[in-house]
Amino acid sequence: MRHPEWIKVKTTGMHAVKTALRRHGVSTVCEEARCPNQGECFSRGTATFMILGDRCTRNCSFCSVLSADPLPLDTGEPERVADATLALGLKFVVITSVTRDDLADGGAGQFAKTIQSIRDRNPETMIEVLTPDFRGKINALRTVLDAGPDVFNHNIETVPSLYSVVRPQVGTTRFRADYAISLGVLRSAKALYPDTKTKSGIMLGLGEKEPEVISVMRDLRAIDCDFLTIGQYLRPRKENIPVVEYIRPEIFEEYKNRGLKMGFKAVASSPLTRSSMNAEEMFEQK
C-alpha cells in the first residue's frame, strides 16, 4: 500500500547525530526499528538509545529488529550510552532495549546501570525508560524503578484480539507477549513508585476496531497510566505484517480528545506519533 498524502517523512539533518552515535559505539531504536521520524529527531539532536544488543528473543510481526539468539551482555554499554548522552548535550534521554528472555532478569540490571551512569555524568538529565515486559517478573521491574527513571514506559502495542497475530510466539523456546502481563507491568510500576510517571503506546492500522482501542485506553486509565501515545503502524520491511488500514489524522485527533477526557495527563496521537518521539515535551505537560 502506498503511503497516503498525510504521511510525510523528513530525511534530512541526521548526519551529526549519527556520527556521534557511531563514535561512541551505541545503537538507537530509531535506526534498528527503521523509525520514520529519524530525520526529525536527529535534526533536533535527540535519539532513543537501544541497549542490550541488537538481537531480540521475541519475533513480533510488526518489528524490524533482528530476531535471533543474542550475543553476551556488553558490560561497557552503560558507560558508552552515558558518554554519548554527554557528547550530544541531551537534557532528556530515552532508553529502550530489545527483549532478552535469555537473561534471568530480562536485562533489568543493564537498564539500572545505564540510568546510574547517565546520572553520574549529568544529574540534571531527565530519563525515560521504555522497557520490555520482563515476563512479568516483579523483581526485575523493581530493579529498573529503584534506579530512579523519571518516566516508566511500556507499550501495550495493540488490542488484545490482535496479540496472537501481531506478537506471536515462534518456536517452542520463544516467549509470547501477553496483554494481561503488559498491563500488569504498568500497574505494578505505578504501585511500586506512585510518583514515577507511567506511559504506554498503541499502534493503529493493524485491523483493530474503534471500540477495542477505546477499551485499551480505559484499561490504561484504570491503572493510572499518565501518558499515552497513539500512532499509525507503517510496515518497516516486506517481511513484516502488512498495513490493514491508514487511519486519517482527524481520527487520531478524536482519540487524543477522548484520552484527555478520560484523564491522561498528556496524549500524543497522530499518524507519525511514536512512543519516544518528543518525549520531553510530553513530560513537561505533567
Q: Where are the domains of the chain?
A: 15-284
Q: For all residues of the chain together, what is the average pLDDT? A: 86
The yes-or-no verdict on residue 127 having pLDDT over 90 is yes
Distances (CA, A) of 91 to 25, 65, 119, 247: 20, 27, 11, 33
Alpha-carbon gap, residue 43 to 16, rounded angstroms: 8
Q: Give the pLDDT confidence score for residue 66 in this predicted structure.
A: 84
The pTM for the full model equals 0.88
Q: Which of 14-23, 140-149, 182-191 has the lowest mean pLDDT?
A: 14-23
Q: Give the pLDDT confidence score for residue 32 in this predicted structure.
A: 45
Q: Give the pLDDT confidence score for residue 266 in this predicted structure.
A: 94
The yes-or-no verdict on residue 192 having pLDDT over 80 is yes
**Which carries the bigger pLDDT value, residue 176 or residue 254?**
254
Alpha-carbon gap, residue 269 to 259, rounded angstroms: 10
Average pLDDT over residues 260-278: 90
> Residue 61: left if φ>0, alpha if ψ -120 to 50, beta else—which one?
alpha
Average pLDDT over residues 68-92: 90
Which residue bears the cell 539533518? 13
Question: Count of alpha carbons within 13 Å of 277, Cβ hemisphere only?
Answer: 22
Q: Which of 11-20, 78-87, 91-100, 193-202 has the lowest mean pLDDT?
A: 11-20
Average pLDDT over residues 88-111: 93
CA-based R_g, the chain, Å = 18
| pLDDT tens for each residue of 176-190 | 789 999 999 999 999
Q: Give the pLDDT confidence score for residue 167 in this predicted structure.
A: 86
Alpha-carbon gap, residue 259 to 158, rounded angstroms: 16
- Supply the CATH classification number for the domain 15-284: 3.20.20.70
The yes-or-no verdict on residue 209 having pLDDT over 90 is yes
Q: Give the pLDDT confidence score for residue 33 in this predicted structure.
A: 45
Alpha-carbon gap, residue 111 to 50, rounded angstroms: 10
